[in-house]
A and B are shown apart, each in its own frame.
Chain A
Amino acid sequence: MKRLQKVLIAIAGLAFLGFGLLSSVHGQGGTDAPLIADQPSLPTSSVAIDNFSFSPASITVPVGVTLTWTNRDDIPHTVVSDDQKFKSKALDTDEKFSFTFTEPGTYSYFCSIHPKMVAKVIVEGAK
Chain B
Amino acid sequence: MSAYIEDDHTEDGINRRGFLKCMAWAGTGAFFVLQGGVVKSFAMSDVNKLSAKELKGELSFVQISDSHVGFNKPANPDVLATLNAAIEKINSLDVPPAFLLHTGDLTHLSKAEEFDTLEQSLKALKTDHIFYVPGEHDVLNDNGQQYRDRFAKGTKGDGWYSFEHSGTHFIGLVNVMNLKAGGLGNLGTDQLEWLEQDVKHVKSSTPIVLFAHIPLWSVYPEWGWGTDDSAQALSYLKRLGSVTVLNGHIHQTMQKVEGKVTFHTAMSTAFPQPAPGSAPSPGPMKVPDDKLRSLLGITDVNQIRGKHSLAIIDSPLAG
Chain A contact residues, CB within 8 Å of chain B: 51-53, 73-76, 78, 82, 89-90, 92-93, 108-110, 112-116, 118
CA distance A115 to B176 in the complex (A): 10
Interface residues in B, total, Cβ within 8 A:
26
Which listed residue, A76, A93, A110, touches B140 by the CB 8 Å rule?
A: A76
Which listed residue, A52, A75, A78, A110, touches B182 by the CB 8 Å rule?
A: A110
- Per DSSP, chain B at the interface is loop
CA distance A89 to B110 in the complex (A): 12
CA distance A15 to B137 in the complex (A): 28
Give 27 CB contacts A-B under 8 Å.
A51-B283, A52-B281, A73-B281, A74-B73, A74-B284, A75-B283, A75-B284, A76-B108, A76-B109, A76-B140, A78-B140, A82-B181, A89-B141, A90-B109, A90-B140, A90-B141, A93-B73, A109-B181, A110-B181, A110-B182, A113-B179, A114-B136, A114-B224, A115-B182, A116-B182, A116-B222, A116-B223
Beyond A90-B141, A108-B181, A110-B182, whether A115 also contacts B224 by CB under 8 A is yes
A118 touches B281 (CB 8 A): no
Q: Give the number of A-B contacts (CB < 8 Å).
A: 59
Task: Taking A73-B283, A115-B224, A116-B182 as given, write out 13 further A-B residue pairs in contact, using a Cβ cutoff of 8 Å, ordered by the A residue number.
Answer: A74-B73, A74-B75, A75-B283, A78-B140, A90-B141, A93-B73, A112-B179, A113-B136, A113-B179, A115-B179, A115-B181, A116-B184, A116-B224
- Per DSSP, chain A at the interface is loop
Contacts of B108 in A (CB 8 A): 76
Contacts of A116 in B (CB 8 A): 182-184, 221-224
Q: Would you call B282 an interface residue if the criterion is a C-beta within 8 Å of the partner chain's C-beta atoms? A: yes
Considering the complex, give the chain A residue whose CB is closest to the CB of B221.
A116
Contacts of A75 in B (CB 8 A): 283-284
Q: Would you call B280 an interface residue if the criterion is a C-beta within 8 Å of the partner chain's C-beta atoms? A: yes
CA distance A89 to B184 in the complex (A): 20
